[in-house]
A and B are shown apart, each in its own frame.
Chain A
Amino acid sequence: MSNPDPVDIFRIEAAELLEQMEQGLLDLEHRLDDRTLVDAVFRALHTLKGSGAMFGFDRLAAFTHHCETAFDRVRKGLAEATPELVSAVLDARDHMRALVEDPSGDHADEERYLLERLQAAVSGAAPLPVASPADGPVAAAVPASPTTWCIRFSLPENTLVNGTNPLSFLDELRAMGECRVVADRSALPPLEKLDPTALYLAWEVTLTTDRSRADIEDVFLFVMDDMTLTIEAQADSASTPEPGPSATISADGPLAIATEPSPDRPAPEATARPANDTADPRLRRKVESVRVPAERLDELMDRVGELVIVQSRLQQIAATSSDMGLRTVSEEMERLCSELRVTMMVLRMVPVATLFDRYRRLVHDLQRDTGKKIELSTDGESTEMDKTVIERLADPLVHLVRNAADHGLEPAEARAAAGKPEAGSIRLSARQTGGEVIISVTDDGRGIDRARVRTKAEAAGLIQPGTTIADQDLLQLIFQPGFSTASSVTNLSGRGVGMDVVKKAIESLHGSIDLTSRPGEGSTVSLRIPLTLAIIDGLLVRVGEGHYVIPLPAVEECIEISQEEDLRSRGRAFLSLRDTLVPFIRLRELFATSTKPDPYQKMVVVSTGDEHVGLIVDQIIGHHQTVIKSMSKLHEDVTAFSGATILGDGSVALILDVANLISLGQEQEAQLRAIA
């Protein structure tokens, strides 16, 4: 396994910083005077700039510098955070992402435009009134007359390995004023126990400067979260100490404001603590977390899958053996494999919050584009799903949120007329039920206009004029390809590509989609998604000499077909099932097995939502824990199968793509109806 490219590592870190920045900006939009948020955004900008420069992303570093400067003014109390500034930096943040992804691209025009916006936002941001000492941290940020500071700091042992040079911090402090630096060697271990790459020295610096405490803290901005730092104004300083309390920054939390110590006694917090002290549970959690590239998790999942297959083979061999020892080992192996599989599944689980957070920005942009006030709320963010599923849900949810904003929510005047609050509501919620997670997008808009759906469907030939159709079936029509009720095409939706794409995407996840809507009250789209795609519960069947797996959640029932029924149904595409005609597909014919049918055929009724199709097979073997293997590129056009799995005897079973088979069944039904 090769070591990851440092540039790739930077890209991952940059993505996280950009995410933090975006969330911070979106929060700041609602709490413009929240200094913690300003600091958080500033730190993300500062770190991105520094890391970018370190890894050769010079354009990114140069561009980010402008935003950092703007936020620095805000945090120093020289300017106010305004909606214009937040909006400009949000757009700049998107450009930073482009600079991370494509540093050599032609970004000049975009950059010029964004910097002009930033400049305008900064120029328009009024300076804050001069703060009094009682104003707290903001006042403390204003430079005062020279103060003598006693700064003690120690850095984590991995500082040097991480490429940070502590001497550069000392140089920066020296550049601020008169400085006396004393190294503390007390933590140096004996030579034979010393790790030559670790950092053991700590420092005490006496600095006389007119720079503020915040300026001193800035020196350590990159390492602030992991270090121990105390900054105290010296009581015997010849000049007036800078107003404000002493600050302690340590590994166990953000800036903590402590009461100014009495002149002759240092504050208890002033005692430097080793950076590797893991007494604090939050720090211990941090130390115990390991960042693992996603592809390595996938590799591990593949290995577990292989192990499950080998275990299955062992189980088969043991079943035919009289060797009790072998049987015992096989049973033990089965138990361990099962536990390992569960552990592996848990490793791949990530909270839905990582998905929901993305839509805050989308809704922010939608407000601007639609001119509608929208409030996004979320629920059940701690619900966990397989990371692959979450990634594949991102785009369908974008469509749904856009649809809710563009089609669902009414303009402000219409809402006022309907007695609704001015701001429309879009709610994203998640909850787990058994092996599935239900993700819902709910809006409080106008609801789906049934009459318009019917008109469009009739015009598109989806239903015959005047046909009686159940309400749920009518609503389902919006998932048909090319269907849209939007009277005008916008850049958000209304091109008729969207809901059918959503449906296909959800079905490709072996999920289903439900829609409820009340006129004048709003709509809810619910996505029912399996927790994982790596290993599924399947129904193993035989068709001819081949084995196939049908995803179990899609299976409704299994029926034995007598020889008489089989004969009666030849030349037809329907079977009567409890007075309902169910279209069916003879898989033996579809797969051209050239084998004779078994005397007693079985029909497995599968469904996606309200659509049913019977799949005629020769034998139902039973439940099978199915480790999903992707089809090769050569076979990606084969629509009847969504993947493959390896059985206990080493043979391959193809996994049926139920959604596509149902479409095929429906087409077959339509053709036969047309002929009739």
Chain B
Amino acid sequence: MENSTIVRMQGNLCVSDIRSSYSSLVDAIEGFPSTLLAIPTDAEVDVSFLQIIEAARLRAAEQGKSLSLLEPASGELRRALDRSGLMTAATAVDRSFWLHEETVQ
């Protein structure tokens, strides 16, 4: 079994196509100890995508697996995060996941 996989999200990451993104994500978390997500900066993002990533983070943490973004959130993903209010009260762990910010000790 390989240690990690990269899930490259394709197309628009909106409710109309969300099922395929969801399936890829579930398969990756179930099948690999470590999953990296590659999200195109110009892909349209809506709340449905943010929700599956948040749920996947919880799932990975429960199973002791690793889930991270290949690149810090930028472009449309960053814009959707800010619009949704998910970053307003973000914890250090949240900021590390989404923005790759280092926790200052």
Interface residues of A in 163-218 (CB under 8 A from B): 165-167, 170-171, 180-183, 185, 188-192, 194, 196-197, 199-201, 203, 205
Report how far A338 CA is from B35 CA in the complex, Å: 60
Task: Tell yes or no: A161 within 8 A of B by CB.
Answer: yes
Chain A residue numbers with a CB within 8 Å of B84 are 167, 170, 181, 183, 201
The closest CB in chain B to the CB of A160 belongs to B15
Contact of B56 among A161, A181, A189, A191 (CB under 8 A): A191
**Residues of chain B with a CB closer than 8 A to A200's CB:** 51
Q: How far is the CB of B86 from chain A (nearest CB, A)?
A: 5
Are B51 and A167 neighbours in the complex by a CB distance under 8 Å? no
* Option from B46, B59, B89 in Cβ contact (under 8 Å) with A192: B59
Quick one: which of A160, A166, A188, A199 has the most chain B CB within 10 A? A160
Interface centre among B15, B54, B58, B80 (most CB of A within 10 A): B15
The answer on a CB contact under 8 Å between B46 and A160 is: yes
By the criterion CB–CB under 8 Å, are A182 and B85 in contact? yes
Asked if A196 contacts B18 (CB within 8 A), the reply is yes
Nearest Cβ in chain B — how far from A151, in angstroms? 12
B58–A167 touching, CB < 8 Å: no
Asked whether A194 lies within 8 Å of B46 as measured between CB atoms, the reply is no
- Give Cα A165 to B56, complex, Å: 22
Contact status A180-B80, CB under 8 Å: no
Cβ of B26 within 8 Å of any chain A Cβ, yes or no, is: yes
A residues in contact with B59, CB < 8 Å: 190-192
A167 touches B15 (CB 8 A): no
Instruction: Choose among B21, B58, B85, B88 the residue that contacts A196 (Cβ–Cβ < 8 A).
Output: B21
Q: Does B77 contact A (CB under 8 A)?
A: no
| A203/B85 in contact, CB under 8 A | yes
Residues of A within 8 Å of B83, CB to CB, are 167, 170-171, 181
A166 touches B47 (CB 8 A): yes
How many Å from the CB of A203 to the closest CB on chain B? 6
Contact B85 A194 (CB under 8 A): no
Q: Is the CB of A161 within 8 A of B15?
A: yes
Q: Check: B48 CB closer than 8 A to any chain A CB.
A: yes
Within 8 A of A (CB), among B69-99: 80, 83-86, 88-89
A196-B22, A197-B15 as given contacts; A190 in contact with B51, CB under 8 Å:
no
Q: How far is the CA of A200 from the CA of B51 in the complex (A)?
A: 8
Q: Mark B21-65, 1 if CB is under 8 A from A, else 0.
A: 110011001000000000000000011101110111011000000
**Closest residue on chain A to residue B20 by CB atoms:** A196
The size of the chain B interface, using a CB distance under 8 A, is 26
CB <8 Å contact, A191 and B29: yes
Residues of B within 8 A of A194 (CB): 22, 51-52, 55
User: B19 at interface (Cβ–Cβ under 8 A)?
Assistant: yes
Q: Are B88 and A191 in contact (CB under 8 A)?
A: no
In whole Å, how far is A64's beta carbon from the nearest beta carbon of chain B? 28
The answer to whether A165 touches B46 (Cβ under 8 A) is: yes
| Contact between A188 and B80, CB atoms less than 8 A apart | no
Q: Smallest Cβ distance from A171 to chain B, in angstroms?
A: 7
Q: How far is the CA of A182 from the CA of B52 in the complex (A)?
A: 18
Shortest Cβ distance from A21 into chain B, in angstroms?
31
Contact A197 B19 (CB under 8 A): yes
Known: A160-B46, A165-B46, A201-B47. A182 touches B55 (CB 8 A): no
Which of chain B's residues have a CB closer than 8 A to the CB of A166? 47
A195 CB, nearest partner CB in chain B, Å: 9
Partner among A161, A191, A197 whose Cβ is within 8 Å of the Cβ of B58: A191
Query: A160-B46, A188-B51 known; A167 and B80 CB under 8 Å?
Result: yes
Separation of A428 and B54 alpha carbons in the complex (Å)? 60
Chain B residues, Cβ within 8 Å of A165: 46-47
Residues of chain A in range 523-561 having any CB-CB distance to chain B below 8 Å: none
Q: How far is the CA of A205 from the CA of B83 in the complex (A)?
A: 12
Name A167's contact: one of B18, B22, B47 (CB within 8 Å): B47
Chain B hits for A189, CB < 8 A: 55
Taken together as a complex, chains A and B put the C-alpha atoms of A619 and B52 apart, in Å, by 73
Instruction: Give complex CA distance A194, B54 in Å.
Output: 11
- In angstroms, Cα B19 to Cα A201, docked, is 18
Chain A residue numbers with a CB within 8 Å of B46 are: 160, 165, 167
* Contact yes or no, B48 A182, CB < 8 A: no
The reply to whether A181 and B18 form a contact with Cβ atoms under 8 Å apart is: no
| Residues of A144-167 contacting chain B, CB below 8 A | 160-161, 165-167
Q: Which of A167, A182, A196 touches B19 (beta carbons < 8 Å)?
A: A196
Complex A-B: 29 CB contacts under 8 Å? A160-B15, A166-B47, A167-B46, A180-B88, A181-B85, A181-B88, A182-B89, A183-B88, A190-B59, A191-B29, A191-B52, A191-B59, A192-B26, A192-B59, A194-B51, A196-B15, A196-B18, A196-B48, A196-B52, A197-B15, A197-B19, A197-B48, A199-B47, A199-B48, A199-B51, A201-B50, A201-B51, A201-B84, A205-B85
Query: What 10 additional pairs, Cβ within 8 angstroms, besides A181-B88, A199-B51?
Result: A182-B85, A189-B55, A190-B55, A190-B58, A191-B26, A192-B26, A192-B59, A196-B18, A196-B21, A201-B50
A residues adjacent to B (C-beta < 8 A): 160-161, 165-167, 170-171, 180-183, 185, 188-192, 194, 196-197, 199-201, 203, 205
